[in-house]
Amino acid sequence: MPDISKFTDVEVYCKATECGIGDRLYCSSLIGDLQEAAERSSNSVGYGTDFLKENSICWIILKMRLHFTELPYWHETFRIRTWSNSLEKFYYGRDFEIFSSDNRLIGQATSTWILADWNTHKPVIANKRPELPPPTIQDPRFVFGELCPKIPFPSRNDIAGEIEKPVIIKYADYNELDRNRHVNNSRYTAWAYDALFKYGYDVSLIEDLSINYNCEVKAGEKVELFIAADGDKVSVFGYKNIDTKVFAVEMFMRKA
């Protein structure tokens, strides 16, 4: 096998359709860009999407933490650097750095993934599949010095009681779906922002978020979102089918 690069750099052009108020990139779009960079990097070490699909395998992201000092702006070409950095059992770690057009570090992210069976989504252990190359760690460096955090996820009854209504309701309509007919995971970040915006928060102040993905949402399903505040931390929890946990987000905001 040829030498493996310690990282992959991807340049991204910020389009108007991916920007919101203030001509800044939506955070949900940035998370999508990070995952595009992850796919390219995975391809460079033999685990690209097309190859995996031929073997009925896919990547599934379980959680991510993103911290940023600013979001890229309309017309800007920014750069994402990413690398695989850990493998524990069947959990793969991948980190990111985000650089502005003038090469300033404006964001960092960490994430946890699994390889899974395309149909059942049960974890796949690469070392037990002879058709897969040996898993590769590009660089053991962690941008936050630790693995991606796990978010406590209360039951719906604990967070909302029996009478409290959701802040917002979202549906798995056509434009929310990915190639697998499930809600694209970047949309959950968009939904969390919508919930905070509707509740009256200034979402432009968000500078750090962690998101855990617990359950897929299929075409036509409904997700109810609730908000919980604890000091300088604001959390958004999404549930479907009354009490099935879908996703949890923790967000911190800079001082206005």
Give me the DSSP letters along 195-214. HHHHHT--GGGEEEEEEEE-
Which CATH architecture best describes the domain 156-253?
Roll (3.10)
Give residue 203's identity as a one-letter amino acid code.
V
Domain boundaries, the chain: 8-128, 156-253
What's the whole-model pTM score? 0.94
Q: Tell me: the pLDDT tens digits for 55-93?
A: 999 999 999 999 999 999 999 999 999 999 999 999 999
Q: Is the pLDDT of residue 256 over 80?
A: no
Q: Tell me: the pLDDT tens digits for 128-146?
A: 999 999 998 999 999 999 9
Provide the phi-psi class of 97: left if phi over 0, else alpha when psi is between -120 and 50, else beta: beta
Task: Let me know if the fold of 8-128 is the same as that of 156-253.
Answer: yes
Which helix H or strand E contains 37, and what residues bound it?
Answer: helix 27-44
In CATH, what number does 8-128 get?
Answer: 3.10.129.10
- Long-range residue pairs from 17-25, CB within 8 A, at least 24 positions apart, any chain: 19/73, 19/74, 21/204, 22/204, 23/73, 23/74, 24/70, 24/71, 24/72, 24/73, 24/74, 24/204, 25/71, 25/72, 25/73, 25/74
